[in-house]
Structure 1
Amino acid sequence: MNRTAQGIVLLLLGAGALSSSAFSDLYLNYVQPGFRPFLIAAGAALGVLGVSVIAGEARAALRGLPGPETAPASGSRADSDDHGHGTPRVAWLLLLPVIAVFVVAPPALGSYTAENAASAPPPSSSGSDGGGDLGDLGGSAENGPVEMKIQEFIGRAWTDEKRTLEGRTVRLTGFAVANPEGEGWYLARLQMACCAADAIVNRVLITNRPEPEEDSWWRVEGTWQPPEGDLRSVRNHRFTVETMDGVENPPDPYE
């Protein structure tokens, strides 16, 4: 691969990073929102570097000077064959991930990952939260449903000994995931600390509504079904749905 081709690859990589971070929210399918400035900076740096490489080769060609790719090869004939013939064909494969960014950008993680990813573990009884008071939910039953993230709902269901969720209407948004054990289905949302590779799943079990299509997004309103006994012993917190509406995929699919 000659220097001009290398510059083109760098330029395309930079354009791909910028198109998914500076000009769209596509980057949210893979990393946390806080990474946006770094992606923009990296894309800009790659673009500038690519342009400088191409411009340098163009100036050398206009002056009639040989570029690095036309310089005499040193070493044995075997070295010449390896570097002059084998490497360029393989090096062009570097364009494949660049093309994929523009043509077939991978979607956000969904039901397949949720079925196989580790579930958020219940807090230990010795944890710093102590299973104590998490404070009031705010508002009142007369003021309508409480909007919550699924991870917040699960955390409160597991740890709030005062059971402030009981009897309150809650609104949750997530995607549908089949229950491999056959009872009902899950409304789920993936939570990531850094990037999609470390995602864990938060989910609530719904048994009073027919299972919708996997990966379809829903906004549900309903109530928590309080379990008997220790909250931390519950594997799947149950949710009784009162209303259920389909929604478009959110810009940020993770919590």
Structure 2
Amino acid sequence: MRRYGPAVLLLLTGAAILRVALFTELYLRYVQAGLRPYLVGSGFLLVLLGVAAAAVGRREREPHGEHDGHHGPRIAWLLALPALALLLFPPPALGSYSAAREAEQRAAQGIGSFPALPAGDPQALTLAEFSSRAVYDSGRSLTGRTVRLTGFVTRDDDGTWYVTRLLVSCCAADATTSKVEIREADAPPADAWVTVTGIWHPKGRLGTDGAWPPVLDAASVRRVAQPANPYERR
């Protein structure tokens, strides 16, 4: 059976990729939507390579009663366990632990005016857009507007809590954190997904660390399901 080890690894890995990228939307936990065709192509290629490796292994013949030394030790089969785990138990999206470890990094943008928000409240904004307007907008376009933000809950040791979202350019490996401090409402459990409706609470001087993270005075907090794509795009 050891001759089929590489084939099994290729088949399991290819099947795992196809499962998350072709038959579900789990791939959005790890990469941007535009990379889906490449994942699907990679999955099919790995499956084809696995089939080819199995066909080659079937044609090989070992001497009776001994091995020819070209096959690895039995412990090499342990390499199949990560591929099997990926197939059966895809890892979850990044959450509060990753956000807590991420340094507060913000885009290097100067203070300036932003376009006016569309008419009508509440206005649904991404956390990145809300944060940019709160920290850098000299026109104070958020003043008096009711906004709606969606993200997962993170907390500080002092009880301060935030609606948080991870921003990615390509995949989960380059994720950075965007968060908004929530006041006037009790904190749901960490990692719970919520939609918060409220009004911007100005603080600090524009463009300085004193304005970060921005603050929202909450009028309502509603628990929601994690979206299919848990990340915002930078």
Given the two structures, how large is their TM-score scaled by the length of structure 1?
0.83
Residue pairs, 1:48-63, within 5 angstroms? 48-58=48-58, 60=59
Query: Residue deviations 1:82-130, cap 9 Å, x none?
Result: x55xx3223212201111112322111101111111223263xxx4xx3
- State the SS of the aligned residue for 1:240: strand
Query: 2:142 aligned with 1:165, yes or no?
Result: yes
Match of 1:29 in 2: 29
Query: 2:160 aligned with 1:184, yes or no?
Result: yes
Distance 1:38 1:166, change over 3 A: same
Choose the corresponding residue for 1:135, options 112, 115, 140. Answer: 115
Would you say how many aligned residue pairs link Structure 1 and Structure 2?
Answer: 230
- State the SS of the aligned residue for 1:94: helix
2:10/2:50 contact within 8 Å kept: yes
Residue pairs, 1:103-252, within 5 angstroms? 103-121=88-106, 123=108, 127=109, 130-139=110-119, 143-180=120-157, 182-233=158-209, 234-252=211-229
Distance 1:228 1:49, change over 3 A: closer
Shift of 1:160: 0.7
1:189/1:254 contact within 8 Å kept: yes
Match of 2:5 in 1: 5
Normalized per residue, which structure has more strand?
2
Distance between the aligned counterparts of 1:215 and 1:174, measured in 2?
A: 9
Uncovered stretches (5+) of structure 1, i.e. residues with no partner: 61-66, 75-79
Moved over 6 A (4+): 71-74
1:3/1:69 contact within 8 Å kept: no
AA of the residue aligned to 1:176: V
Distance between the aligned counterparts of 1:69 and 1:38, measured in 2?
A: 38
Query: Residue deviations 1:172-200, cap 9 Å, x none?
Result: 000110123x1521110011122212211
Percent identity between matched residues is 39
AA of the residue aligned to 1:54: A
Distance 1:2 1:168, change over 3 A: same
Uncovered stretches (5+) of structure 2, i.e. residues with no partner: none
1:184/1:208 contact within 8 Å kept: no
Distance 1:245 1:4, change over 3 A: same
Given the two structures, how large is their TM-score scaled by the length of structure 2?
0.90
Normalized per residue, which structure has more helix?
1
Match of 1:90 in 2: 75
Aligned-pair Cα RMSD in Å: 2.2
Q: After the TM superposition, which of the residue ranges 236-245 and 113-122 deviates more from structure 2? A: 113-122
AA of the residue aligned to 1:27: Y
Distance 1:56 1:160, change over 3 A: same
Which has more radius of gyration? 1
Distance between the aligned counterparts of 1:50 and 1:197, measured in 2?
A: 27
Distance between the aligned counterparts of 1:69 and 1:221, measured in 2?
A: 69
1:157/1:231 contact within 8 Å kept: no
AA of the residue aligned to 2:106: P
Shift of 1:9: 1.8
2:16/2:86 contact within 8 Å kept: yes
- State the SS of the aligned residue for 2:128: helix
